[in-house]
């Protein structure tokens, strides 16, 4: 088996593995393997094939990492509606208590249990409808329903 066949076979295996993982990083390494195969087809020595494959794979991986596809949307789980289904839900607060030096707090019935509620920055402590913005342990951080989050 010639060098270029080995490089392209490795690239095919990496692409198949990439389809199983879905991370795109194995695809970037497969691009490096294709570059090594092209170098082998053009008659480069084994050392230059490996160097070219490694450099192309590293550059492609770095470029992927810097792109929007490589960045993870690291939202705090306490604020991520995909993690916590309570985020964005509405609840009714009848009465607020003002604690000196702290945010306004309340106790409300939500999902059949009593919860501690804290008013988020920018919220107004009036009785009415609120939207859950964040969950911190057993405390719901809420904002007025008519206020939009920036």
In this structure, the answer to whether residues 12 and 60 fall within a common structural domain is yes
CA 121 to chain centre: 25
Residue 85 lies in a domain: no
- Find out whether 125 and 96 touch, Cβ atoms under 8 Å: yes
Provide the 3-class DSSP secondary structure of residue 141. Answer: strand
Per the listing, tokens 């160097």 go with 51
Residue 6: is its pLDDT beyond 90? yes
Question: Which residues, 6 or more positions from 109, have their beta carbon under 8 angstroms from its beta carbon?
Answer: 115
What pTM was estimated for this model as a whole?
0.51
Q: What is the CATH number of the domain that holds 132?
A: 2.40.50.140
In this structure, the answer to whether residues 97 and 129 fall within a common structural domain is yes
pLDDT digits (tens, 9 = 90+) for 56-83: 999 999 998 888 776 666 667 777 777 7
In this structure, the answer to whether residues 58 and 94 fall within a common structural domain is no
| Mean pLDDT across 105-110 | 91
């Amino acid at each position: 088996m010639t060098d270029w066949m080995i490089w392209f076979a490795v690239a095919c295996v990496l692409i198949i593995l990439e389809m199983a993982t879905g991370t795109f990083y194995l695809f970037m390494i497969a691009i490096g393997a294709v570059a090594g195969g092209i170098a082998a087809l053009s008659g480069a020595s084994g050392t230059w094939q490996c160097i070219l494959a490694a450099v192309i794979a590293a550059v492609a991986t770095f470029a992927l990492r810097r792109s929007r596809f490589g960045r993870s949307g690291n939202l705090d789980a306490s604020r991520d509606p995909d993690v916590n289904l309570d985020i964005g839900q509405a609840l009714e607060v009848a009465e607020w208590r003002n604690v000196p030096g702290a945010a306004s707090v309340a106790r409300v019935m939500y999902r059949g249990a009593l919860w501690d509620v804290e008013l988020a920055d920018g919220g107004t402590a009036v009785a009415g409808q609120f939207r859950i913005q964040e969950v911190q342990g057993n405390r719901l951080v809420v904002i007025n329903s008519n206020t939009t989050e920036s």
